[in-house]
């Protein structure tokens, strides 16, 4: 990772990660009548990790993880993330 990359946050957002919206993830999953076990199978992520994310215990996550969850839930990543508050 180059220090120059940190100056171009728009291009290197993966370094910073994103803030997942755990309750939104849970709402979408339950609305689809999907179990955590099924979400685990679709994403390849540990069920405990997914549960902690839904409970808001994971405050930052790599962008690719959130995109993988969004793909499994068939929603846009923006539907399951929170905007940063200054």
pLDDT digits (tens, 9 = 90+) for 12-24: 444 457 899 999 9
Q: What pTM was estimated for this model as a whole?
A: 0.77
Measured CA to CA in angstroms, residue 23 lies from 2, 45, 47, 49, 79 at distances of 35, 18, 16, 14, 11
**Do 20 and 30 contact (CB within 8 A), yes or no?**
no
Between helix 36-43 and helix 63-73 the angle, nearest 10°, is 120
Query: Which pLDDT band, with edges at 50, 70 and 90, does 11 fall under?
Result: very low
74-84 pLDDT, tens digit each: 999 999 998 65
pLDDT in tens, 22-48: 999 999 999 999 999 999 999 999 999
């Amino acid at each position: 990772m180059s220090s120059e990359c940190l100056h171009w946050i728009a291009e290197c957002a993966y370094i910073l990660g994103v803030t997942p919206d755990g309750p939104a993830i849970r709402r979408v999953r339950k609305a689809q009548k999907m179990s955590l076990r099924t979400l685990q199978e679709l994403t390849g992520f540990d069920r405990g990790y997914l549960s902690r994310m839904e409970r808001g215990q994971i405050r930052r996550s790599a962008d690719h993880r959130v995109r993988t969850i969004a793909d499994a839930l068939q929603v846009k990543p923006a539907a399951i993330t929170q905007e940063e508050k200054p």
